[in-house]
Amino acid sequence: MGDADAPADCRRLGTRRPGQGGRVPAANRGAPVKTQVNWYAALRLPVRCAALLLTRLTVTGLENVPGKGAFFLIPNHLSILDPLLVQGFCPRQVHSLTKSTQFSSGRFSRWVLPRVKAIPTRRYQVDPQAVRTVLRTLDRGEGVCIYAEGERSWDGTLQPLRRGTIRLLLKAGVPIVPCGVSGSFEVRPRWGRRFHRGRVWLRFGEPIRFGVHDTRAERDRALDAATRRIEAALIRLGAEAPVPTRGSTGAKTG
């Protein structure tokens, strides 16, 4: 029997009909109700306040983030400040791929990362468990944030994108939202110890769609073109292009 057969007052109020599990067992009556805290949403306001204290921030392109469904968010990575900016101001909750050592380095990181549903990954190597977690997250229609360079920039320019990350994007086949971050390197560079308040721009770009590449051979054929397209999108959105060097071979392996 479907909802159309329910009494009008039950449908209107969203209550259960008798016999559909709505009765509370006598032993549980009066017991405190446990509520699940959405820590991601709860932390968004203080994170935004902290970001605005540390920067003079301009955010554009929020309309480019899909309102529903799975997607990748791919920012460039200049500063320890970037996750506060990107996840604090992205209109959708995203699960950020985070190096596994962060989950055990410092009391605050150990507390906050599981609560915002960050995904641990081993750096500089393929991590099958992290890949499976990412794909399951996408299957649920949620967003995943990956810093495709794999680490923060040492000089403020865009670093080569990790080939393993690009292969994952091609395998998943969901929309990819590039996000250009500029100015945060001057606020707190990788080698710096202090914050210097300054102008920062956060630009969400139009989604890139490659479609699904089911086989490794298909992904290998599309790899270089996909890498160039994402790099070009990040540079258009404000990421600083790397200075070409003699003997440069392009994207890193990994």
pLDDT score, position 122:
85
As a whole number, mean pLDDT of residues 243-247 equals 63
pLDDT score, position 250:
45
Q: Is the pLDDT of residue 84 over 70?
A: yes
Q: Is the pLDDT of residue 3 over 50?
A: no
Distance, in Å, from the CA atom of 154 to the CA atom of 135, rounded to the nearest integer, reads 30
The tens digit of pLDDT for each residue in 209-244 reads: 998 898 889 999 999 999 999 999 999 999 999 877
For residue 17, name the pLDDT band (cuts at 50, 70, 90): very low
Distance, in Å, from the CA atom of 192 to the CA atom of 80, rounded to the nearest integer, reads 10
Q: Give the count of beta carbons closer than 10 Å to the beta carbon of residue 168.
A: 22
Q: Give the count of beta carbons closer than 10 Å to the beta carbon of residue 84.
A: 19
Coil, strand or helix at 145: strand
As a whole number, mean pLDDT of residues 129-151 equals 96
Nearest to 71 by CA among 43, 88, 91: 91
As a whole number, mean pLDDT of residues 98-119 equals 83
Q: Is the pLDDT of residue 15 over 90?
A: no
pLDDT score, position 35:
60
More confident site: 161 or 24: 161
Q: Is the pLDDT of residue 5 over 70?
A: no
Question: Which CATH architecture describes the domain 39-236?
Answer: 3-Layer(aba) Sandwich (3.40)
pLDDT score, position 233:
98
For residue 25, name the pLDDT band (cuts at 50, 70, 90): low
Residues whose CB is less than 8 angstroms from the CB of residue 114 and which lie 6 or more positions away in sequence, other chains included: 103
Supply the mean pLDDT for the chain. 84
Residues whose CB is less than 8 angstroms from the CB of residue 85 and which lie 6 or more positions away in sequence, other chains included: 51, 55, 57, 181, 184, 200, 202
More confident site: 32 or 169: 169
Is 164 within 8 Å of 126 (Cβ atoms)? yes
Q: Is the pLDDT of residue 201 over 90?
A: yes
Distance, in Å, from the CA atom of 19 to the CA atom of 185, rounded to the nearest integer, reads 60
> Kind of pairing, strands 176-182 and 198-204?
antiparallel
What residues are paired with 75 via a beta bridge?
A: 179
Distance, in Å, from the CA atom of 223 to the CA atom of 197, rounded to the nearest integer, reads 38
| Token pair in block for residue 103 | 């989950």
For residue 249, name the pLDDT band (cuts at 50, 70, 90): very low
Nearest to 75 by CA among 192, 173, 165: 165
As a whole number, mean pLDDT of residues 45-74 equals 95
Question: Which of 90-99, 116-125, 198-207, 231-240 shows the lowest mean pLDDT across its residues?
Answer: 116-125
**Which phi and psi angles does 24 have, rounded to 5°?**
-85, 125
List the end-to-end C-alpha distance of the chain, in Å, as a whole number.
53
Domains of the chain, by residue range, sit at 39-236
pLDDT score, position 23:
55
Local structure of residue 28 (DSSP, 8 states) = G
Long-range contacts for 34-38 (Cβ within 8 Å, ≥24 apart)? 37/115
Nearest to 234 by CA among 153, 120, 126: 153
For residue 90, name the pLDDT band (cuts at 50, 70, 90): very high
Counting residues of the chain whose pLDDT is more than 90, the rounded percentage is 59
